[in-house]
Chain A
């Protein structure tokens, strides 16, 4: 919309994004169980993405229908993951860990 947004709002959003990024790295560093990390990290990433879309891309100030359209890909992709899930379960069940020489992992 034509209204101009205050720059202090943008800086506030920036600090939120910065804080969430630091939080993400803190969660990623220690060796939590992968699923715990996955839930926390995906949650924070969606939060960051929403902040960017709502405020930097002004979706917050646009018509609701545009927001709904913009939100659609996320819904479809989550649906896609669930559609793939039965296949994935089958694969994960059948895949055996290949016995191989572990070459020294760097770092």
Chain B
């Protein structure tokens, strides 16, 4: 039957990713990110619920301060720009620029983690903000703070390791203008981490 003859082509069509025809991996990353967004969304909704129900929630900017984290926010935004520049570089086979910008992105993530370590150290050991109690008010203030920023920090750590792998594979010539999908997919993850921090910064530090 003619259907049999056309089956092979149909077969290939059927296995093309439905929403992102150029790459299955990209669809996979999007599915993961949507799930991950639910995790963060639930954490932030829970945070809002606990905070609204609390009568003695401290004012975050009194305890946490916002200048360091404003700088960290800026750093993540800049690292996102470096990430898109790194992707643009590999898309035009510019390996030197690819290494430079992906390297800078990793550096941005690492500095962010350093700032977070400094901040946690300051809050825990010098300002008595504990996981289960603090002198400023509701004990859940510390709990929610450490869970949400910690969960995000783990994502940044994962992103730094992920991008290091991308950089090392890129340096061995794995990517080019014809094969940049893994770089783009890693970029999606990195921008998502940036996006989540924008929300965390707003809910946990600013409001």
Contacts and interface: CB of A to CB of B under 8 A. Distances in A.
B126 to A, nearest CB: 9
A66 B202 contact: no
Contacts of A106: 63, 127
A107 B48 contact: no
Given A7-B85, A88-B49, A37 B206 contact: yes
B30 A69 contact: yes
Interface string A59-85: 000110110011011101100110010
Interface in B16-75: 19-20, 22, 30, 33-34, 37-38, 41-42, 44-45, 48-49, 52-56, 58, 61-63, 65-66, 70, 73-74
A5 B205 CA distance: 33
Interface residues of B, number: 56
Contacts, number: 146
Contacts of A28: 61, 66, 205-207
Nearest to A75: B41
A28 to B, nearest CB: 4
A76 to B, nearest CB: 7
Contacts of A44: 202
B41 A52 contact: no
A25 B70 contact: yes
B66 A105 contact: no
Given A38-B207, A72-B34, A81 B49 contact: yes
Contacts of B20: 62-63, 66
A76 B39 CA distance: 11
Interface in B161-182: none
A14 B77 contact: yes
Nearest to B83: A56
Nearest to B33: A70
B92 interface: yes
A63 B44 CA distance: 28
Nearest to A45: B202
A56 B80 contact: yes
Contact of A69 (B34, B192, B206): B34
Nearest to B19: A66
Nearest to A56: B191
Given A27-B206, A52-B195, 9 more contacts: A10-B88, A21-B70, A45-B203, A56-B81, A81-B49, A88-B49, A105-B58, A105-B63, A106-B63
